Amino acid sequence: MALAGSAVKSSKSTSRKASKAKTALDRFGEIKMPDLTYTDKIAKATAPLYEKVRHHIPEIEWPIHAPYVYWINKLKKKRNATILAHNYQTPEIYHCVADIVGDSLQLAREAGLVKEEIIIQCGVHFMAETSKLLNPEKTVLIPDMRAGCSLAESITAADIRLLREAHSGVPIVTYVNTSAEVKAESDICCTSSNAVRVVESFESDTVFLIPDEYLAQNVAKLTKKKILTWAGHCEVHERFTAEELLAYKKADPAIQIIAHPECPPSVVAVSDYAGSTAGMIEYAKTRKPGAKVLLVTECSMASNIEMEAKGVEFIKPCNLCPHMKRITLPKILESLVYMKEEVLVDPAMAKKAKRAVERMVNLKPN
Ligand code: 13P
Ligand code: SF4
């Protein structure tokens, strides 16, 4: 069953609600914006990092990035901050300033373990909220508060309450790509790497898996449970078609197709493997799928893993996530200097939302 999703605001307004408490800048104080001249000292200090991204950043452009990389790494220590970056961040963020990289589940697990005082979330808003839920004592900053997600925007807490009323007793699993207020109304969360396991953790024969309709349909093929869903879609993955992928296969039948399960089921059906971004990376690196791999997901991921997946040539049917791409080196530096933008979650809501995320994180493997 697919229910029509209504376009709604995410819980960003909740996070932005002016707190009576001091702002992050009041608490931590301002640091002077550093001079961003490309000096010999900066060139030397950043040379090893440039080696990691030289296939993606022309040498002539490095003097623009290098001062940001240098100062972000310096100020991150001064502020006692750690940078969590999703696999879709650009190579200069992923390889040059991130402390921890991963898929949504890995980042959620790591967020709860962060010891530093400040978490800078290089990803989208729901990821920053998840970090705040799992490590509420920390100050969580997102370099651009507008970094949203079409899935998170597709459903509200009121929608979930209506579903509960209409389908009493049916467990509600929400994808982690949702706002804290939606998580607060859910029984448990899931990511693309554990969705089947989460759905099967319930005794009920019928389970809601919302709001990603395609993820739900792909999961339904892997379980005996009856899956009820919602009409939310990822604006990046919904654009891939089976026809375009088959055209690549026709041109070179040896090409292996690796797709994200947010893609339509028709795309997953013509793929050799489907899994979360971490699963896709693992497959490309360890299963040696052949010389040419078509990575059916956000563009930056192939660029980020090319160095590690030696011997694999990635073909990128490129779709960019405009939300992930709002995060840039200059904005990360501003986050560190001006302590912005702080992600806050209403404590009562956070308690309920945290329960749903923790149930997922603590779920034992089968
Ligand atoms: P994963 O990294 O969990 O596979 O999720 C992909 C995604 O779209 C995150 O926004
Ligand atoms: Fe959301 Fe899709 Fe962008 Fe991920 S890639 S943040 S699911 S819009």
pLDDT in tens, 275-329: 999 999 888 888 765 678 999 999 899 889 887 787 888 888 879 999 999 999 9
CA of 7 to the centre of ligand 1 (A): 20
Is the distance from CB of 286 to CB of 312 less than 8 angstroms? no
Give 216-279 as a 3 state SS string. Answer: HHHHHCCCCCEEEEECECCCCHHHCCHHHHHHHHHHCCCCEEEECCCCCHHHHHCCCEECCHHH
**Closest Cα to residue 298, out of 317, 275, 270?**
317
**Residue 47 per-residue DSSP state:** H
Is the distance from CB of 263 to CB of 236 less than 8 angstroms? no
H or E element in which residue 76 lies: helix 62-79
Is the pLDDT confidence value at 3 over 60?
no
CA of residue 144 relative to chain centroid, distance: 14
Does the beta carbon of 349 sit less than 6 angstroms from any atom of ligand 2? Answer: no
User: Radius of gyration over alpha carbons of the chain, in Å?
Assistant: 21
Does the beta carbon of 153 sit less than 6 angstroms from any atom of ligand 1? Answer: no
CA of 44 to the centre of ligand 1 (A): 35
Does the beta carbon of 276 sit less than 6 angstroms from any atom of ligand 1? Answer: yes
Residue nearest atom 3 of ligand 2, based on CA coordinates: 321
Query: What is the pLDDT confidence band of residue 101, given thresholds at 50, 70 and 90?
Result: very high
Q: What is the biggest distance separating any 2 CA atoms in the chain, rounded to whole angstroms?
A: 66
Ligand nearest to the CA of 261: 1
Rounded Cα distance between 18 and 203, Å, is 42
Does the beta carbon of 177 sit less than 6 angstroms from any atom of ligand 1? Answer: yes
pLDDT in tens, 204-260: 999 999 999 999 999 999 999 999 999 999 999 999 999 999 999 999 998 999 999
- 3-state SS, residue 110: helix
Structure tokens at 80: 């006692």
Residue nearest atom 1 of ligand 2, based on CA coordinates: 149
Question: What are the contacts of 10-14 at 24+ separation with CB within 8 A?
Answer: 10/125, 10/126, 10/148, 10/149, 10/152, 10/153, 10/179, 11/129, 11/179, 11/180, 11/181, 11/182, 11/345, 12/125, 12/145, 12/148, 12/179, 14/179, 14/180, 14/181, 14/344, 14/345, 14/346, 14/349
> What's the predicted TM-score (pTM) here?
0.92
- Share above pLDDT 70 across residues of the chain, in percent, rounded to a whole number: 93
Rounded Cα distance between 83 and 100, Å, is 7
N- to C-terminal Cα separation, the chain? 27
Domains, the chain, ordered by start: 8-150+324-347 (3.40.50.10800), 152-236+356-362 (3.40.50.10800), 237-315 (3.40.50.10800)
What is the chain's mean pLDDT, rounded?
Answer: 92
- 3-state SS, residue 186: coil
Does the beta carbon of 191 sit less than 6 angstroms from any atom of ligand 1? Answer: yes
Is the pLDDT confidence value at 19 over 80?
no
Residue nearest atom 7 of ligand 2, based on CA coordinates: 234
CA of 200 to the centre of ligand 1 (A): 21
